[in-house]
Structure 1
């Protein structure tokens, strides 16, 4: 029974991850917008006063932010349609490790903690199960997560600076060789925190929304209920996780030069530097592609999961 939950969750996660990969890639590119971008010092013009020199304070001009459609179009124009699936091998490995673990563990805990008579589980217990399952899953899948972020971000770098990983296996082996095995767990605290937030908000809210819909008789247990509950869960997960996701993306993608200090000393340093340079709303960069990815991903995930459960119900 326990293994079945891992198999069902793994199949649904791989299908959902691959089908929404281009949206995830655009989200990563948007989250890196403005990072290390050159700024221009603009001095407002003042009326000339004979015999005196006026120096006005410089205003730092940030480069204009580009929306998800423009990012996608530019990506296809510069790198080709195939670039939309950059790092998809890492996505598959990540779903095999991270999502299979979190979905299976959540299913086990939910069954173990549910009331034996009514079969229900309080929302707080669902959240607790999600936090625990997400944290463990993220720790297992972090190497694939780092590889995926780097492979997705590679195309935005100048040709001379690109890492040009051939596959997720090449990425992980080169990272371990060039930067040490510990680099595979770079940003792991962020990955764990994000995964705990996503899993708790996504899985717990899906179960809660689905139960409420069925309990109140708004809809029958079918595709419509699964879509409504899953999209609602995707929105909750996107709001909860986006700030951590931005910081995670930047920490994982940072290039550490030999003999030089890293751009960020850790998650807090990255958050402070990001807010200082780009404002607090920078933590919600990529939110539109996050929700446009998180929504469909969650819908595909749970709709597929419900169908897989039906197919495997006799096993």
Structure 2
């Protein structure tokens, strides 16, 4: 029973991850907008006139730069022009590996906790759902962090000038080169953030889905346990997960993607440093950069995830 939950969750996660990969790519590119200013702590050229950038002091500005950032449609156009249609699937091999490790683990563990912690009559209280999601997400994130780092870097590569790109050929090449060039420990760069985000996402996503599905079935009866209920519950879960996780996701993306030059200090000393620099140079609203594509991605991802999961469960119910 325990192993079956891992298989079902893994299949559903891989299908959902590959289906929504282009949306995830756009989200990552948007989250990295304005990052150079945050990392270098240099104010942007003022849009209101005044002194040149060279004459400005090299310090943290007291206000966010008044620069307009491209929206999801503009970012989509940039990718299409610069990289072609294939560019929307940059890093898809890392997505497959990430879902195989991270999501398979978290979905399987959650199913295991759900089986063991349910009360008589099959009731699974909300506080136990949240606890199961937090634990499952943390373990899954720790297992899948190397693939997560590779995925972020592969997705971000196309936004760099050709001479600065890492040009990983695949997720295997990415993980191998990171281990050789930066050390095995760097495969878990940003692991704390990944774990925190995964705990938030898993608790919000899985607990909300179960809670919403149960509420609909209580109101409409067991006969309503079909596609419409699965879509409604899963979209609600995706929206809650997106709102809760986006700030941590922005910081995670930037820490994982940072490029450390030999002999130079890293752009960010850690997650807290990244958060402070981002807030001071770009404003608190920067933590919701990429929120629209996050919602657009989380909605379909969660719908595809749970709809596929319900169908896979039906197919494997006799095993």
Specify the TM-score bucket, using the shorter chain as the normaliser: over 0.9
- For residues 223-282 of structure 1, what are the alpha-carbon distances to aligned partners after superposition, in whole Å with 9 as ceiling and x for unaligned? 000000000000000000000000000000000011111000000000000000000010
2:109 aligned to 105, 110, 115, which one? 105
Counterpart position of 1:63? 67
What TM-score do you get using the length of structure 2 for normalisation? 0.92
Cα displacement (A) at 1:44? 5.4
Query: Which has the bigger relative contact order, CA under 8 A and spacing at least 6?
Result: 2
Counterpart position of 1:39? 44
Unmatched 5+ stretches in structure 2: 38-42, 51-60
- For residues 35-63 of structure 1, what are the alpha-carbon distances to aligned partners after superposition, in whole Å with 9 as ceiling and x for unaligned? 11472146657xxxxxxxxxxx9987443
Query: Measured at CA, do residues 42 and 202 of structure 1 come closer, stay the same or move farther in structure 2, by a change above 3 Å?
Result: closer
- For residues 120-145 of structure 1, what are the alpha-carbon distances to aligned partners after superposition, in whole Å with 9 as ceiling and x for unaligned? 11101000000000000000000000
Unmatched 5+ stretches in structure 1: 46-56
Counterpart position of 2:22? 22
What TM-score do you get using the length of structure 1 for normalisation? 0.93
2:180 paired with 1:180: no
Distance 1:135 1:16 in 2: 20
Counterpart position of 2:8? 8
Contact 1:30-1:71 at 8 Å conserved across structures: yes
2:146 paired with 1:143: yes
- For residues 6-29 of structure 1, what are the alpha-carbon distances to aligned partners after superposition, in whole Å with 9 as ceiling and x for unaligned? 000000000000000000000000
Counterpart position of 1:49? none
Query: Measured at CA, do residues 60 and 2 of structure 1 come closer, stay the same or move farther in structure 2, by a change above 3 Å?
Result: closer
Counterpart position of 1:257? 261
Counterpart position of 1:305? 309
Cα displacement (A) at 1:107? 0.1
Counterpart position of 2:96? 92
Rg larger in structure: 1
SS of 1:4's partner is helix
